[in-house]
Amino acid sequence: MTMSKPDLGIGLVHGVIATQASALLPQIVDAFDMTKLTVVAAEQHALLISNVPQYLLGHVEANTLFADPARISGLAMTHHRILQAAAVVTDVVPIRLGTLVRGPGGARDLLSREAARFADHLATIRDALEFSVRILPTQQQSRTTRSQPSTGKEYLRFRRDERASLRPAVVDTTLHELASQAVAIRERQARPAGRVPALAEAAFLVRRHDLAAFDDCAGRIERQIAESGLALDIFGPWPAYSFVDGAAERPT
């Protein structure tokens, strides 16, 4: 994708790449399935932007563009599609969904204002992508875990472990082994996965040339921990959402 002088009104921002990498981008359809993605550059960095179509501008002015849950869901999916397409060929810093800019001037103002932070983020995720991993008990282990203790001693141990929110040692071993194949790890608060609560959830930043090794390691671990009644849910590789902070982006 080559850059031309953008015909940009109000734009929905998706991500940041190095300006020199813009030539590597494939043709990417924008978030509204209207036209190709707009790329606006300023010195070292470039923004990936979808031009908000005319029929939605009233929602922008009324601050209701993201008031419709169905529209939010659709935009979240296209936001990820665009970032994923860019991440295949270059490093991309995801921008928080909902960041808007007004015209090329607003885009360049955002690039100028956040230049140092964008540079830091691109350095952090250089030549790397993210895998997201959840460690789950199998249904059989879940049923075993819920069984009631049969003696007073077992009951006290059960209550102690419950209060301490202890998890099997194999969970920490699994995270450690996966981390050995990555350059960074971000462990998150484990969320329920359907009816089965996750024991751990983490994101791993993996160099592109190590993606296959990480996948092989995860497959080996998955077979090993099955004997302990555990399973892995693995997602990715995808853009490094967990290793950048989008809180500072503001509409301009």
Structure token pair of residue 217: 């390691």
The CATH number of the domain covering residues in 128-241 = 3.30.70
Confidence of residue 147 (pLDDT cuts 50, 70, 90): low
* pLDDT band (50, 70, 90) for residue 62: confident
Mean pLDDT (the chain) is: 87
63: left (phi over 0), alpha (psi -120 to 50) or beta: left
Per-residue model confidence as pLDDT tens digits over 2-15 = 454 457 899 999 99
pLDDT reported for residue 101: 96
> Across residues 134-145, what is the average pLDDT?
66
DSSP conformational letter for 133: E
Residue of higher predicted confidence among 144 and 204: 204
Q: Provide the residue ranges of all domains of the chain, joining segments of one domain with +.
A: 10-124, 128-241
Q: What is the pLDDT of residue 142?
A: 47
Distances (CA, A) of 75 to 79, 81, 203: 6, 10, 23
Q: Residue 58's CB: how many other CB atoms inside 10 A? A: 10
DSSP symbols for 75-132: HHHHHHHHHHHHHTTS--EEPPTT-EEEHHHHHHHHHHHTHHHHHHHHHHTTTEEEEE
Band of residue 167 on the pLDDT scale cut at 50, 70, 90: confident
pLDDT one-digit tens code per residue, 168-187 = 889 999 999 999 999 999 99
Confidence of residue 210 (pLDDT cuts 50, 70, 90): very high
